[in-house]
């Protein structure tokens, strides 16, 4: 065989491209020595297994669901702190993370049918022109809990950890929109970010979603440059991102460089079809639903998470032990969280904190006693300020597996 044939053979075997290699390197925090020989269909062991070196800047125990693009969720017990640390904040990317970000040169442009004039701001201008606010905001992927749906829904098989509630600092979206000046026909906003499409096509937009103007004008929505008082991690949108607490996190655009103000529902990629939309009526599992019978997901439903103890904990003797976690409910607040150790036959109340601000989660704690040695499950059930509770079993099946807010369960053993 001559040179040409052998190099063709090599390319058919699918070694990774230079840009994937660079992306791997930046995620591993180290150059992949011999990276040119790394086959395209493999994942670096460093991302995925026990003893993994993990993703650069992230806790090594994040669970990697996909590496092209990078998607990783947080095990429930790592979400125990009241404010989610940056290194455990989950990552959901639809495209390729932008490289060589220069925060000093970054601009955010406002345009679209319903702005009075197109306007751009540098980050320094945003900081000097508008008042800075800090809010604790729940950012939850619409597909959190997708793993449980049957028939299975395509996409990242999120278990319970595509949720975070960090402290975000930035300027209010509404203040900047008011400065830009909106026409009376404005009904929706849409974001654009600097990430690039997996296909490599520079013309293709990865994702461009948004919210109705009514939601956009809420005080708590931020154009943020900091998470927990520091630069936002690159994987979570540095140097600038939108944070729309309580709504599907897909509305919180990362690497934000453009906001359009629309005179109709925004129609960017992932606004239509089955993307972030659910049937308008209950459907049987697996049923085909026509696009026109789907509606956009707005506020996320009531949900809770047990963050302590870690599932699988051994409880010694008859001592009581503390169980704790968080609960949240889109734009509403949480009225109560109850816990059960007898598979939901009886429930006991927990102590519940108030939220730091709208769209922040609340914390619950309860003392539990296990009556005799054996296996138990601790279940938690939250109820929102409208009186709606979490279901025990998986709620309505939908084609893309969104909005699973079933009760969280952990296993404990009294020994």
Distance CA 205, CA 319 (A): 56
| Partner touching 139 among Mo ion, ligand MTE, none, CB below 5 to 8 Å by kind | ligand MTE
- Residue 169 Cβ vs Mo ion, minimum distance, rounded to whole Å: 22
Instruction: Tell me which stretch binds ligand MTE (CB under 6 A): 77-85, 86-94, 324-332, 361-369.
Output: 86-94
| Partner touching 147 among ligand MTE, Mo ion, none, CB below 5 to 8 Å by kind | none
Secondary structure element (H or E) that encloses residue 24, with its range? helix 18-28
Regarding 397 and contact with ligand MTE (CB under 6 A), the answer is: no
User: Which of residues 114, 196, 208, 250 is near Mo ion by CB under 5 A?
Assistant: 250
Q: Closest residue to ligand MTE, Cβ-based?
A: 193
The site map against ligand MTE for 118-147 (x = CB under 6 A) is: ---------------------x-x------
Q: Which residue number, 64 or 207, has a Cβ lying nearer to ligand MTE? A: 207
Q: Which residue number, 93 or 398, has a Cβ lying nearer to ligand MTE? A: 93
User: Which of residues 74, 93, 304, 340 is near ligand MTE by CB under 6 A?
Assistant: 93
Instruction: Tell me which stretch binds ligand MTE (CB under 6 A): 93-101, 110-118, 299-307, 312-320.
Output: 93-101
Regarding 55 and contact with ligand MTE (CB under 6 A), the answer is: no
- Residue 259 Cβ vs ligand MTE, minimum distance, rounded to whole Å: 12
Regarding 16 and contact with ligand MTE (CB under 6 A), the answer is: no
User: Which of residues 108, 160, 206, 305 is near ligand MTE by CB under 6 A?
Assistant: 206
Q: Closest residue to Mo ion, Cβ-based?
A: 141
Distance CA 118, CA 225 (A): 22
State which of positions 246-275 bind ligand MTE (CB under 6 A). Answer: 249-250, 252-255
| Partner touching 207 among ligand MTE, Mo ion, none, CB below 5 to 8 Å by kind | ligand MTE
Regarding 47 and contact with ligand MTE (CB under 6 A), the answer is: no
Q: Rule CB under 6 A: which residues touch ligand MTE?
A: 89-95, 139, 141, 193, 195, 206-207, 236-237, 249-250, 252-255
């Amino acid at each position: 065989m001559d040179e040409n044939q052998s190099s063709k053979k090599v390319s058919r075997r699918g070694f990774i491209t230079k840009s994937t290699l660079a992306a791997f390197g930046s995620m591993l925090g180290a150059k992949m020595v011999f990276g040119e020989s790394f086959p395209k269909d493999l994942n670096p062991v460093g991302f995925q297994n026990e003893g993994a070196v993990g993703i650069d800047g992230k806790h090594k125990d994040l669970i990697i669901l996909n590496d092209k693009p990078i998607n990783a969720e947080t095990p429930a017990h790592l979400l125990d702190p009241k404010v989610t640390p940056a290194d455990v904040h989950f990552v959901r990317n639809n495209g390729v993370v932008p490289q060589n970000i220069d925060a000093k040169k970054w601009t955010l442009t406002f345009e679209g049918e319903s702005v009075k004039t197109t306007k751009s701001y540098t980050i320094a201008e945003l900081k000097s022109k508008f008042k800075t606010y800090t809010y604790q905001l729940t950012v939850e992927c619409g597909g959190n809990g997708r793993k449980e749906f049957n028939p299975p829904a395509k996409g990242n098989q999120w278990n319970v950890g595509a949720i975070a509630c960090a402290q975000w600092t930035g300027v209010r979206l509404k203040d900047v929109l008011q400065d830009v000046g909106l026409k009376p026909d404005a009904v929706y906003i849409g974001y654009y970010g600097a990430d690039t499409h997996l296909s490599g096509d520079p013309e293709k937009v990865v994702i461009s979603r948004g919210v109705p103007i009514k939601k956009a004008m809420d005080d708590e929505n931020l154009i943020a440059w900091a998470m927990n008082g520091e630069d936002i991690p690159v994987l979570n949108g540095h140097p600038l991102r939108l944070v729309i607490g309580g709504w599907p996190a897909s509305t919180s655009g990362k690497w934000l460089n453009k906001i359009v103000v629309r005179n109709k529902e925004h129609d960017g990629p992932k606004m239509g079809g089955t993307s972030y939309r659910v049937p308008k009526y209950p459907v049987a599992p697996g049923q085909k639903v026509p696009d026109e019978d789907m509606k956009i997901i707005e506020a996320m439903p009531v949900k809770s998470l047990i963050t302590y103890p870690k599932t699988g904990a051994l409880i010694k003797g008859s001592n009581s032990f503390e169980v704790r976690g968080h609960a949240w409910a889109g734009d509403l607040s949480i009225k109560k969280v109850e816990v059960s150790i007898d598979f939901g036959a009886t429930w006991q109340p927990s102590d519940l904190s108030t939220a730091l601000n709208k769209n922040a989660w609340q914390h619950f704690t309860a003392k539990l006693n296990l009556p005799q040695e054996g296996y138990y499950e601790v279940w938690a059930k939250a109820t929102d300020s409208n009186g709606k509770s979490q279901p025990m079993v998986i709620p309505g099946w939908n084609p893309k597996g969104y909005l699973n807010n079933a009760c969280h369960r952990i296993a404990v053993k009294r020994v």
